[in-house]
Amino acid sequence: MRFFSLGMVVWLAVALSVPPRAAAQKATGRVEPLRGYTIMAGALGRAPKDAKDMWSNTVAAHLSFIEKARINLVVVELPYGISKRYPKSARVASFIRRLKKKSVQVWVIYPHVLAQTFDLPRQVDGDGKRVEWKVCFNRKKTQDWLVDNGKRIVEAYAPDGLLLFGLFHKGGSCHCDSCKKDKDARSGKSMERFFLRFSKELHEVQPKINLGTTGFWARPSRKALGAVDIVSPVVGIFRPGYAKAGRVKKELTGLRSRYKGKLLVPYVKLFLASQTDSKTEDVLAAAREGLRYGDGFFFWGYNPGHQYLRQDYDHEKIESALLGLAKNKRK
Nearer to Zn ion, 179 or 230 (CB): 179
Does 273 contact Zn ion by CB under 5 A?
A: no
The only residue of 174, 231, 237, 291 in contact with Zn ion, by rule CB under 5 A: 174
By beta-carbon proximity to Zn ion, the closer residue of 27 and 185 is 185
Given candidates 41, 78, 179, 191, which one binds Zn ion under the rule CB under 5 A?
179
Query: Which residue from 40, 106, 176, 273 is in contact with Zn ion, where contact means CB under 5 A?
Result: 176
CB under 8 A, 24+ apart: contacts of 96-100? 96/157, 96/159, 98/59, 98/63, 99/66, 99/74
How many Cα atoms are found within 13 Å in the side-chain-facing hemisphere of 177?
Answer: 0
State the Cα–Cα distance between residues 317 and 239, nearest whole angstrom: 19
Does 191 participate in binding Zn ion (rule CB under 5 A)?
no
Q: Is 136 in the site for Zn ion (CB under 5 A)?
A: yes
By rule CB under 5 A, what string of x and - marks binding of each residue 81-120 to Zn ion? Answer: ----------------------------------------
Which string of DSSP letters, residue by residue, matches 189-226? Answer: HHHHHHHHHHHHHHHHH-TT-EEEES---SS--HHHHH
> Of 173 and 210, which has the nearer Cβ to Zn ion?
173
Shortest Cβ 110–Zn ion spacing (Å): 19
**Which residues touch 300 (CB under 8 Å, ≥6 apart)?**
37, 38, 75, 234, 267, 268, 269, 270
How many chain residues interact with Zn ion (CB under 5 A)? Answer: 5
Complex with Zn ion: residue 176 or 321, whichever CB lies closer: 176
- Does position 75 interact with Zn ion (CB under 5 A)? The reply is no
- On the CB side of 228, CA atoms within 13 Å amount to 33
Closest to 159 (Cα-Cα) out of 268, 303, 38, 325: 38
To Zn ion, the closest distance from the beta carbon of 140 in angstroms equals 11
User: At closest approach, how far in Å is the CB of 169 from Zn ion?
Assistant: 14
Which residues make Cβ contacts (< 8 Å) with residue 115, sequence separation at least 6?
Answer: 122, 132, 133, 134, 135
Which residue number, 66 or 179, has a Cβ lying nearer to Zn ion?
179
Which stretches of the chain bind Zn ion, using CB under 5 A? 136, 138, 174, 176, 179
